[in-house]
Amino acid sequence: MPDTMQPADNGKPIEIEDIGSNPNPEDTIGEVMNRRLSRRAAIRGLGGAAAAATLADQLLAAAEPALAQVNGPSTLTFAELRHQMGQRDAVPEGYEIQTVIRWGDPVVPEAPAFNAAAQTPEAQAAQFGYNNDFIDFRPLPFGANGSDHGLLCVNHEYTDTQLMFPGIGSGRDARLRTTAAQARIELLAHGHSVVEIRKQDGKWGVVGNSRYNRRITGETPMRISGPAAGHDLLKTSADPTGTRVLGTLNNCAGGNTPWGTVIMAEENFNQYFGGAAARSGAQSDSYRRYGILPDATYAWGRFEDRFNLDREPNEPNRFGWIVEFDPYDPTSVPVKRTALGRFKHEGATHAVNPDGRVVFYAGDDERFDYVYKFVTARPWNPTDRAANRDLLDEGTLYVARFHDDGRVEWLPLVQGEGPLTAANGFPSQAEVLINTRRAADLLGATPMDRPEDVETNPVNGRVYVMLTNNGNRTAQQANRVNPRAANNHGHVVEVIPPGAGTSAVDHAATTGRWEIFLLAGKPGVDAGARYHRATSDNGWLSCPDNCAFDAKGRIWIATDGAPGAAGVADGVYAADTSGYGRALTRLFYQAPTGAEVCGPCFTPDSRTLFLAIQHPGDDPGSTFERPSTRWPDFAEGMPPRPAVIAIIRKDGGEIGS
């Protein structure tokens, strides 16, 4: 997610994901890779053609040329783009970009048309929110598998104040210059949008006045459920029960469920809260572990007590959760499901186990934090949707430990087991979940290089972990397969559950294997960068963030941070995950300047790829009046507008084929 700046205690700006709130990031994934990949026998084992194409074999080839294999071409047929930096976005020849919906476009029937120069909180509450991230496409009617008509469900992560409002200037301080009305507009621009969409004559459009269209904001009433609901640490003056909360914040990636609900993941919630209590209050240790500082990034605490720690010390504990709601029922109350833990959630994507239990994977998006999964206590009921209503309130949350022999071990976060005892500050399961990071620290989970999206590949059963970067890795953590003193470009790790590649894949298992899929950066320039040997000068990538899979099981990787790390625009890269083209990444889409690409989502027929283009024009010095791009409208006086786009083939065929 965006490296939003926040002040450190010494006043020097730092990145939110650079806070380094893990106090003991030992046994990092870099050190594990060093030990593991130095042992040839530990990383071989797929056999046949797949083994010939594994990145592990490619990495070993440098040390033992006799092990090198010849890899065949990619199955992707599009004409690869060239790396670029420009005001406009780009797709390969034969493809078309359609803008589906933009910040400020009407969502609910009473919404007015967008007026950038005269925004109001009331208008924003009814209009499409800012900085769209996660996308889900839910076919209509419920239970259908169509690809031309459905619900577009979109997260709104955060706001870029300097690009939203005229006369406010640039830089981080712009967020602190907002008026009370502007601060409330920002709050209402967070959350989620649901819009009915339809493709007619090859063009995607929003169905106006649909009964499904809905805005969920930072003020929408929500219920808190699960083991932490009602705990004293969740009670506030506005909610003495600890079971009701207003709104959801910093919704980054997300997911869905087999029973048709949508999941929003609350990520960098820390930046909205501030106060002296961050360092002197009774919960200062907990605040510190979640990166909450005395000075908030936003000015909201000046106008609403709930964002001021000195007045409402428990309010931050009500954020950082997984939020579930039913897009097919516009009156449904969103629910924060505490059983899935509290951390900077980057999504929660699911896989159904052979026994019917549902497994959700998630990353904690901060440098040196962890990878998690949640396993429901009971199977889902495919014939009774109502029976699954509270399925996410019971189950086991696990955190990953990656071993250097290629094993991954899933450690249960269960009160009373191992070190998670009252003597160590965990007298109940509620405390384990409210302070998930500290519990995972005690279990000895493996600190990772900023884990973001974690997605299951429905074709091969493997789980792909996007590790965006970690500029804090020290020279002492460098190794011969990744010799960078800092992992500025990130990498992708595959987790291989027992039975992967068969119908009996066991995502609920507490052990599995792992392999490296790719190490990002520019080959020959960035030390340690490794891909398929046939990757072109335009196929390398930097800062993998989100991913999706098409019907053939090919991976589509969206990036965040490439302009700063590698000097190229963020974009989407595609690759085979097996066969002779494994890890042969090819550049498919490039974003306009300043933008990040989020939420890749295919329709069931793989003929449309939806993308969320977030914070276009967010370049140094860019303002509402003088932005670095006016994408997507390119109209004088109109600021850049985050938007969801649809990419289709002009001949109507499948994307990438």
pLDDT in tens, 290-300: 999 999 999 99
Residue 45 confidence (pLDDT) above 50: no
Residue 112: predicted pLDDT: 97
Residue 58: predicted pLDDT: 38
Residue 483 confidence (pLDDT) above 50: no
Using alpha carbons, select from 534, 492, 530 the residue that is nearest to residue 514. Answer: 492
Residue 450 confidence (pLDDT) above 80: yes
Cis preceding linkage at 141, omega within 30: yes
Report the share of the chain in percent with pLDDT over 90: 82
Residue 162 confidence (pLDDT) above 60: yes
| Mean pLDDT computed over 281-304 | 97
Q: Tell me: the pLDDT tens digits for 532-556?
A: 999 999 999 999 999 999 999 999 9
Of 273 and 172, the structure prediction assigns the larger pLDDT to 273
Report the share of the chain in percent with pLDDT over 70: 88
Residue 16: predicted pLDDT: 56
Q: Tell me: the pLDDT tens digits for 614-641?
A: 999 999 999 999 999 999 999 999 999 9
Residue 463 confidence (pLDDT) above 90: yes
Residue 519: predicted pLDDT: 94
Residue 90 confidence (pLDDT) above 70: yes
Q: Tell me: the pLDDT tens digits for 417-446?
A: 999 999 999 999 999 999 999 999 999 999
| Mean pLDDT computed over 126-136 | 98
Residue 486: predicted pLDDT: 83
Of 472 and 240, the structure prediction assigns the larger pLDDT to 240
Residue 15: predicted pLDDT: 54
Contacts of 418 (CB under 8 A, 6+ apart): 411, 442, 443
CA 438 – CA 432 distance, rounded (Å): 8
Contact (CB, 8 A) for 104 and 638: no
CA 162 – CA 148 distance, rounded (Å): 37
Using alpha carbons, select from 521, 510, 527, 363 the residue that is nearest to residue 449. Answer: 363
| Mean pLDDT computed over 115-119 | 97
| Mean pLDDT computed over 120-128 | 98
DSSP category for residue 226: S
Of 33 and 506, the structure prediction assigns the larger pLDDT to 506
Q: Tell me: the pLDDT tens digits for 348-371?
A: 999 999 999 999 999 999 998 999
| Mean pLDDT computed over 252-281 | 98
The C-alpha R_g of the chain, in whole angstroms, comes to 23
Residue 448 confidence (pLDDT) above 80: yes
Residue 65: predicted pLDDT: 26
CA 641 – CA 127 distance, rounded (Å): 13
Q: What single letter denotes the amino acid at residue 101?
A: I
Residue 41 confidence (pLDDT) above 50: no
Residue 38: predicted pLDDT: 43
| Residue 657 pLDDT class (50, 70, 90 cuts) | confident
| Residue 240 pLDDT class (50, 70, 90 cuts) | very high
Rounded alpha-carbon distances, angstroms, from residue 554 to 467, 476, 540:
18, 36, 16
Contact (CB, 8 A) for 130 and 615: no
45: left (phi over 0), alpha (psi -120 to 50) or beta: left
Residue 329 confidence (pLDDT) above 70: yes
Residue 59 confidence (pLDDT) above 60: no
Contact (CB, 8 A) for 234 and 318: yes
In what order do the strands lie in the sheet containing 262-266? 244-246, 221-225, 335-337, 322-325, 262-266, 251-256
Rounded to the nearest integer, the mean pLDDT of the chain is 90
Residue 2: predicted pLDDT: 59
Residue 474 confidence (pLDDT) above 80: no
Q: pTM of the predicted model, to two decimals?
A: 0.92
Residue 52 confidence (pLDDT) above 60: no
Residue 173: predicted pLDDT: 85
Residue 18 confidence (pLDDT) above 60: no
Residue 26 confidence (pLDDT) above 90: no
Residue 13 confidence (pLDDT) above 50: no
